[in-house]
Structure 1
Amino acid sequence: MKTPDGQQIRAVIYVRISQDRTGAGLGVERQREDCEALAERMGFEVVRVYPDNDISAFSGKKRPGYRRMLDDLDAGTATVVICWHTDRLHRSPTELEEYISLCERRGITTHTVQAGELDLATPSGRMVARMLGAVARQESEHKGERVARARLQKAQAGEWAGGIRPFGWGLPTGGTRVVADKKTGDEIEVPVLDYDKAVPGEAALVLESTEDIIAGKSLRGWVQLLADKGVVSTMGNPIGTIEWRDILLRPRNAGIVIYRGQPVGRGKWDVIVPEPTWRAAVAVLEDPARRTTPGNRPRWLGSLLFECGKEGCLCPGPMKVSGTGNKDHRPAYRCQLGQVTRRADVLDDYVRDVILERLSRPDAAGLLLPLADESAVAELQAQQVELRGRLTTLASAFGSGLVDASQLAEGSSVINAQLSTVLAQLAAAASKDPLVDLVGTADPWAVWKGMELEQRRNVLRALVTVRIRPGRRGRMPDGSYQDMESIEFEWKRTP
């Protein structure tokens, strides 16, 4: 087809698929082939194809291919748009009106494989486009409701909702299924996985790491361990600190089903972390005091833990470590008003020696926190089950019309407050005393040496408050220039 002056009409093709489960792009490829066949029948010259793969028009996410097409059309690249159906272009009235405005301004017509031609320069063409857009949006909303309902039903039944294989689960069943290769599009056989069954090696890593986090070990150390072992994500990518933290925080680890951010029941899958242990780890990982950027990661035992002990000093917080300003530039603890300064390495070594000496005494076992009472833990677990049951009963009563929305909200608020208290007590019962590895061991010095810095800082936090008072000047009786008698230890635990 040509223009009145004999020029061939230039067209562009737009293709989109909302959900590409295989990643092979086969849906947009089939649309492109149909659109190219239509262009050939109509005699159009196709100058460009704009694909948007695995992007929904209804979701509101940015569609880069679509936006480039609009810019090019406004610049005069073509006067015809070809798509498989109008719902490939729009499922939003706002987007449709923008497209209509552009078509009116530039004299652009739209041809579809399924719905024929739309001349948006005419009132009737715009009316048809708006009607088709309204139908498409209703279909999207209806589909969204169906998907949400299906997901809620799966969650209430304790079933896996689908998606990428979660790290820790997915044992092969022995069967296979045919899928399209993500790179080539060829059909290949892949094993069928049971997502309710834990993968022993991965599950063991999650459990061990969860327990280590409670004991004070760092995420960075675990990520390095995973890298050393060659462990990767279920997508085959290296696991970073943020990714591993997210894995440890998953309620799924403890068998808890979450729907829209709220627990709705117990999963049918294998539990790989006991719930109290998981909750104790969550409390550690979500502690705001733990979150640091690489720039302010503690490098010293007492950084932001040692306190200024000068009488009358109004410094706003604990001591920090910085350069001393002398010719050696040796790091030093400083009061935040600069009134007390001590060499960091000397002070850390002295505090370490005092702590280990105290934990080496015969009465050190009396410093440990009492073990959780098994009968008390069992009672807390029974309370948890009973409170969750009351929540379920209350929700059923609301569904049956026996209680109204305000009664549901009030009752749920009370029960959830009680449940939070019980869960906090369970998490505390699962927490590990940071002193336990040092007390009773034949060589606490060797144990301390094998600890990560954060574990040592946890021992300091749990056992003693250290205050640094101004020291005497000159040589001390032991020949050093460090006045250790001005270091004050306030023990938090007594036998």
Structure 2
Amino acid sequence: MTRKRNVYANKMALMAAGARVIALIYARASQDNKKQEKSVGDQLDLGKGEAKQNRWTVGKVFYDNNISASKYARGKKRPDYELLLEAIESGEGDVLILFELARSNRDLMIYVNLRELCIRVGLYFWLIGGQLYDLRVRADLMSLGFQAVQAEDQSVATHENVKRGKAGSALRGLPAGKLNYGYTRVYDGETGAFVKQIPDVEIREAVSDDGKVSKYTRAGIIRFVFESLDEGKSIHSIEKSIFDRGIRSRKGNRIGRAVIRKWALNPVYIGKRVHLTETVGAGQWDGLVSDELYWSVNVLLNDVKRTKTRPGSGKYLASWIGKCAEDGSPISVTPPSEHSYKEHVYRCYRKNCWTIPMVELDSFILSTVIAWCSRPDIEELLTAAYTANDEALSEARAEAKRIESEWESWMKDATAQRLKPSVVARFEAQFEMDLQAARDRASELSLPSVLRDSIGPDAERKIMSADIEVKRELIRLLGPFEVTRALRKDNVPLTDRVNWLGLLGSEFSDDGPKL
């Protein structure tokens, strides 16, 4: 129900009205671990004391605790502040009591909106820090406006100091933010100050659903993820392996595929400090994996041939890797059933314009891959092809190191000179583009470990004994391939129906394969 607000001609009339004046009190405090600010309780007590001193009746009390009013914290809602606005809009209150203007906002836009609302609905009086203001008086508006500007300026200064402090910590290689899985931090027992970050090698026990107990360390889980990916295993199979052992996150949740991929692409695990999503230098902690292993996995996960998402569990050799040459749709597997096929078949997923028994296509693909990887000259030719790029690869890696070093040096100068964040951001964008280009070039020139470990005279043994995920990864690297439509009665051999488009489809010259 809307209340008809009392209208007082001036401050004296308000002060003379006594108990007829209804006061609204609002208090707010940000998270304050150092106890340097007035708590919400203290602010409310002061507000009620001022209302009692002026013989006003306290109407409603509103407060938001541990919530910032800065414009840099827009994602955090202030529920009681919204209720305060609703109360003012509905006609409640004759005077608004605040400990200081910054309690209500540190954003000029929010201040202006509150001021205009109060003027529009007739709540003209604010009591701030014991000082009474009338929104109809020019001098009072000027004083409030100045306080609002100061509050926002303080917020901006704090924000910039925090950013500068984080940048400085990053350049010194200090860890910051959320603790990465696989590490633990040591703090001083007396002061609580950070001492160092070390691998988390505490032995823990996990219990699977069937009651089997296994021991593990969080640092070991990170190494397991990198080593499994380097062997060609899928992220899905790694997730399942961790879950089946009963291993969970720190909060007891399932460790999902997105988390595993994030781990595998995080330079933190080779001892690098990341700031604003970019590597800025060496961290003051040891890596959990080698640089070679990290970059090998990085190349695999960023390979454009690698399918990021696909239906099914990847338990069939060629499903969702090959494509139909007629319409470009992926090939899928249909299991046998009473009303369809007598055996597993591969088929065009979209139009079902052809089918091939799975045993036949799998046998053909594996024999083709094994024959290619077993060629007496394949190791020499591939080595020659990639060795020919050794100089370019070294140059690309050196270029990435140079850009990282330049950025680190530039950030030190920027921190010392206290450059504006906008200036830093402008240069940072260019550094990031140049660095990513150098890294992409190095990835293109690196021989994938799955391919390196599959070639040679014993390629058949290596490939046939490999897990399905490794075989699929190898086919992705050597493919992709297309299957053309043909009638079964025509007996068109698979050699004429399967067209390899990747390495298996390349021709060899005297200079090596055209990669």
Tell me the TM-score normalised to structure 2 length.
0.69
Which among 331, 345, 364 is matched to residue 320 of structure 1? 331
Instruction: Report SS of the residue matched to 1:15.
Output: strand
**Residue 126 of structure 1 aligns with which residue?**
141
Instruction: Report SS of the residue matched to 2:97.
Output: strand
- Matched-pair contact (CA < 8 Å) for 2:320–2:331: yes
Q: CA deviation at 1:93?
A: 1.7
Alpha-carbon distance between aligned partners in 2 of 1:230 and 1:72, rounded to the nearest angstrom? 52
**Aligned CA-pair RMSD:** 5.0
Matched, 1:159 2:170: no
**Pair 130,418 (structure 1): closer, same or farther in 2 beyond 3 Å:** closer
Q: CA deviation at 1:459?
A: 1.5
User: Any residues of structure 2 matched to 1:47-446 within 5 Å, and which?
Assistant: 47-51=60-64, 53-59=66-72, 61-62=74-75, 63-65=77-79, 66-108=81-123, 114=129, 116-160=131-175, 162-172=176-186, 175=189, 194-200=195-201, 201-234=217-250, 237-287=253-303, 290=306, 292=308, 300-308=316-324, 315-317=326-328, 319-321=330-332, 327-328=339-340, 332-334=346-348, 340-343=353-356, 345-347=358-360, 349-351=362-364, 354=367, 358=371, 366=379, 370=383, 385=401, 388-389=404-405, 417=434, 420-421=437-438, 424-425=441-442, 429=446, 431-434=448-451, 436=453, 440=458
Give aligned-pair identity as a percent.
17
Matched, 1:17 2:29: yes
- Matched-pair contact (CA < 8 Å) for 1:384–1:423: no
**Pair 219,29 (structure 1): closer, same or farther in 2 beyond 3 Å:** farther
Code of the residue aligned with 1:447 in structure 2: it is: S
Higher mean Cα deviation, 203-212 or 106-115?
A: 106-115
Instruction: Report SS of the residue matched to 2:155.
Output: helix
- For structure 2, the 5+ residue unaligned runs are 7-15, 202-216, 418-422
Instruction: Report SS of the residue matched to 1:108.
Output: coil
Code of the residue aligned with 1:168 in structure 2: it is: G
Code of the residue aligned with 1:129 in structure 2: it is: L
**Pair 272,17 (structure 1): closer, same or farther in 2 beyond 3 Å:** farther
Q: Deviations over 1:21-60 (max 9, x none)?
A: 699x994455445445545555433434242533342316
Code of the residue aligned with 2:347 in structure 1: it is: Y
Instruction: Report SS of the residue matched to 1:59.
Output: helix
Alpha-carbon distance between aligned partners in 2 of 1:378 and 1:118, rounded to the nearest angstrom? 70
Tell me the TM-score normalised to structure 1 length.
0.71
**Pair 16,282 (structure 1): closer, same or farther in 2 beyond 3 Å:** farther
- For structure 1, the 5+ residue unaligned runs are 179-191, 310-314, 477-481
**Pair 224,327 (structure 1): closer, same or farther in 2 beyond 3 Å:** closer
**Residue 473 of structure 1 aligns with which residue?**
488
**Pair 155,112 (structure 1): closer, same or farther in 2 beyond 3 Å:** farther
Alpha-carbon distance between aligned partners in 2 of 1:366 and 1:29, rounded to the nearest angstrom? 75
**Pair 71,27 (structure 1): closer, same or farther in 2 beyond 3 Å:** same
Report how many aligned residue pairs link the two structures. Answer: 458
Alpha-carbon distance between aligned partners in 1 of 2:70 and 2:158, rounded to the nearest angstrom? 13
**Pair 345,136 (structure 1): closer, same or farther in 2 beyond 3 Å:** same
Higher mean Cα deviation, 341-350 or 124-133?
A: 341-350
Matched, 1:451 2:484: no
Code of the residue aligned with 2:28 in structure 1: it is: R
Code of the residue aligned with 2:474 in structure 1: it is: V
Q: CA deviation at 1:61?
A: 0.3
**Pair 20,251 (structure 1): closer, same or farther in 2 beyond 3 Å:** farther
